[in-house]
Structure 1
Amino acid sequence: MRCFLPCAVTVLAALAVAPALAAEDIAAKIKRQSQEFSDASASGDVATLARYLDDRVIFINEGGEIASKQDIIAPGPPPPKNVSNHLVQTDFQIEIHGKVAVTRFTDNGTFRVGDQVTKHNFRSTEVWLDEGDAWRMISSQTVALSDDPPSRALSPRELDEYVGTYQAAPGLSVTITRQGSELFSATNGAKPTPLLAELRDVLFTPGQARTRRIFERDGNGKITGFAARREGNGLEFRKTS
């Protein structure tokens, strides 16, 4: 009886810690499974993909395509020789809500084709459900993180060709100016932002890799306007001065 109070305190302390430890164990388990799923996606390991996917999973890939479990685990052609894909997760965050776990992370991809190496990053969120015998993915959505393309230098004569005012409609105009060896763009008199050339007549604003300005010329080679493109769609601007 003399140990009743210390024993009771010990039991209560253990009960208080147990849920935190259980949640921590679940978080580690989901993190491991999520990385294994990324590994399986990169290598084409359909057995692992099938094991971790719920039969009714709602899956949207980085291209915006909707895929079912059968779409994901369907065997494809063998990868070409000298081609590899490696995905490493970073910035992993998880929130556990009872039997549901919601994650957020970045997949850092390294793609090798022979001696060439390219790197691509993808941001994902996944939802995992405790189905009794295992935690399985019931939802996933991924977006590709865009990087600025390499830029090329333009000659003074080439830079001057883009200078002017362009209008899409009354009340919406863009003015391109030149300052030394750089171009700047301002919409409706706003603060000018840099404008770089990816290729001749293909310009972009740093930090806005999803957009391009595709310039058009007449039969004499004079610029007549540009198409402001964002993921294949956009507005036409005509040069007014």
Structure 2
Amino acid sequence: MKRGLVAAFVIVLAVCSTARGADTPKITESKLVQRTQELFDAVAPGNQAPWKMYVAEDAMFFDEKGRSMDKAALLEDLQPLPAGYSGTIRVMRAKSRFATNVAVLSYDCDEVETVFGRELHARYYTTDTWLYRNQAWQIVASQTLRYYEDPAAGAVSDAMLNDYAGAYELAAGNVVTVTRQGSELYAQRNSGKPYQLLPESPDLFFRAGVEGRRLFHRDASGHVDMMIDRRNNEDLLWKKIR
């Protein structure tokens, strides 16, 4: 009798395990990439069909501009590109993680937008969380970050470089010294390590790999009187003291 009960119990466990496995069909990384590419292929023509299919009704989307959108807002934002515009987004370098009914897919997006024949390039990093429920795998959360790209370096005459050299003070004891070294400009904060300021255009500079700009302000007579450290549209004003 005991042997019969044990055997029956084992059979029940096996059946239950099989049933649970059947409840959540397996999805692979390649399938997720395929579906994700379908979504991006639908962006340029403004085709909402795959987005309606693969995005959950209660999904949360956070784009590279910092906007938070639900599914309704996402679909409203998905409109055909205007005349003269075209573009492609390719899913690259995907990585995935899986649990029972959850799949996480992270990948790069390589975007090429053509505006009246001129190509514009951008790279993004996206992480999507897919959840299996109601007999379907759908995205419930997505977050996109944009890779930072330095602006194109410009040129400034040697004579203008002399205008920027000097000491700039933010507060007492907090000074940045700007020096010219040949045809290059360097800044050093107090006794810190010097770093190069690269020209984007006259009076406008940037640091390689660092977001923000350094804008040299001129007074009414055309002399540099301030260095503006602009970050995320907010300014730190460094007054020229010598």
TM-score normalised to structure 1 length: 0.85
Residues 1-241 of structure 1: pairs in structure 2 closer than 5 A: 25-74=27-76, 78-208=80-210, 210-241=211-242
- For 1:157 and 1:75, the matched residues in 2 are separated by 48
CA contact (8 A) 2:89 2:111 kept: yes
CA contact (8 A) 1:183 1:194 kept: yes
Alpha-carbon RMSD: 2.0
Query: What one-letter code is carried by the residue in structure 2 that aligns with 1:212?
Result: R
**Runs of 4+, deviation exceeding 6 Å:** none
Q: Which moved more, 1:106-115 or 1:31-40?
A: 31-40
CA contact (8 A) 1:85 1:111 kept: yes
TM-score normalised to structure 2 length: 0.84
Shift of 1:42: 3.9
Shift of 1:44: 1.7
CA distance 1:28–1:60, change in 2 (3 Å): same
- For 1:168 and 1:118, the matched residues in 2 are separated by 37
The runs of 5 or more residues in structure 2 that have no matched partner are 1-20
Query: What one-letter code is carried by the residue in structure 2 that aligns with 1:211?
Result: G
CA distance 1:92–1:201, change in 2 (3 Å): same
- For 2:236 and 2:58, the matched residues in 1 are separated by 39
- For 1:214 and 1:79, the matched residues in 2 are separated by 35
- For 1:106 and 1:42, the matched residues in 2 are separated by 18
Deviation by residue 1:31-52 (Cα, 9 ceiling, x = unmatched): 2112222222343221111111
Deviation by residue 1:184-211 (Cα, 9 ceiling, x = unmatched): 1122221111111111111101112x21
Shift of 1:54: 0.6
Of all paired residues, the percent bearing the same amino acid is 30
Q: Would you say how many aligned residue pairs link Structure 1 and Structure 2?
A: 220
